């Protein structure tokens, strides 16, 4: 058993879980779950990234250990609440990683922070750019579809109560994102990378186009093995990609800001 597997997780306030605390002070990666997802989905990623990075996973309301906590009534209020929760912990080197709904939330949280407190790296996984989220026609999924897309289908099928809790979390997040309205704004200075699974049935690599205009830093589009959700309770997700991005000097750590750049990586 590795050292990372033996470390006990730590909860920081209501909003944050540190699945694998690190004894030193590595890069801190704040992770934002997909719709209906919980912080525990990032435990395999936290183990895989140690000791390079320490994962801090967001614990959204209305699910898991926060089942009795109400979700903020709008996307803007959710962003405000997350900014308040994260701000005391934004020290040293840090970045954001989010999947699907979590990618949009992570980006908007980064944008809401003062320029000098923004992450050096933002990674948006399995998500189209912000403008596409406003008022778009969302397909109508059955309950089983929603659970499958959230990666929980067979896992909770036999437990009706657990299944209903999971569905409620998904519905709650979809209701919040329906209130999202993008506003014109200058690009952020953080490096902004996007990633999609080669077998993603909802997005595909073409769906990543449009993110690069939201940054003055480096940008890149990446395709990796996997489906719509990359980091799950069953697998850590794009560990190699995240490790390579974390180990690069960020915008505040290199001499001069690099010009925007875009790359495409083939599935491996």
Determine the pLDDT at residue 54.
98
**Over 80: is that where the pLDDT of 4 sits?**
no
Over residues 132-164, the pLDDT tens digits come to: 887 654 545 555 666 676 666 555 666 777 777
**Computed over its alpha carbons, how large is the radius of gyration of the chain?**
17
Phi first, then psi: what are they for 52, rounded to 5°?
-60, -40
Q: Are 260 and 215 in contact (CB under 8 A)?
A: yes
Which helix H or strand E contains 100, and what residues bound it?
A: none
| C-alpha to C-alpha distance for 128 and 165, rounded to whole angstroms | 27
CATH number at residue 77: 3.40.50.1820
Instruction: With CA atoms as reference, report the closest residue to 98 among 70, 72, 130, 73.
Output: 130
Determine the pLDDT at residue 170.
85
Structural domain boundaries enclosing 254:
3-265
Over residues 6-32, the pLDDT tens digits come to: 779 999 999 999 999 998 888 999 999
What is this structure's pTM? 0.88
Selection from 45-59, 161-175, 216-230 with the highest mean pLDDT: 45-59
The count of domains in the chain is 1
Determine the pLDDT at residue 262.
36
Provide the mean pLDDT of the chain: 85
């Amino acid at each position: 058993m590795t050292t990372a597997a033996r470390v006990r997780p730590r909860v920081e306030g209501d909003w944050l879980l540190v699945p694998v605390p690190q004894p030193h002070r590595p890069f801190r990666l704040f992770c934002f779950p997909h719709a209906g997802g919980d912080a525990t989905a990032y435990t395999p990623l936290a183990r895989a990234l140690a000791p390079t990075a320490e994962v801090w996973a967001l614990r959204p309301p209305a699910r898991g250990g926060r089942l009795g906590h109400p979700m903020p009534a709008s996307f803007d209020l959710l962003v405000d609440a997350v900014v308040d929760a994260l701000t005391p912990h934004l020290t040293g080197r840090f970045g954001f990683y989010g999947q699907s709904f979590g990618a949009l939330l992570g980006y908007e949280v980064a944008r809401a922070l003062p320029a000098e407190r923004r992450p050096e790296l933002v990674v948006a996984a399995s998500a189209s750019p912000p403008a596409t989220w406003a008022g778009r026609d969302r397909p109508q999924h059955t309950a089983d579809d929603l659970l499958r897309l959230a990666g929980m289908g067979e896992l909770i099928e036999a437990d009706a109560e657990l299944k209903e809790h999971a569905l409620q979390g998904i519905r709650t997040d979809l209701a919040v994102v329906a209130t999202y309205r993008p506003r014109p704004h200058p690009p952020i200075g953080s490096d902004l990378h996007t990633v999609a699974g080669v077998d993603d049935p909802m997005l595909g690599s073409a769906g990543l186009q449009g993110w690069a205009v939201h940054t003055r830093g480096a940008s890149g589009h990446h395709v990796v093995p996997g489906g719509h959700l990359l980091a799950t309770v069953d697998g850590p997700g794009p560990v190699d990609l995240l490790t390579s991005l974390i180990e690069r000097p960020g915008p505040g750590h290199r001499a001069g800001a690099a010009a925007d750049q875009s790359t495409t990586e083939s599935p491996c």
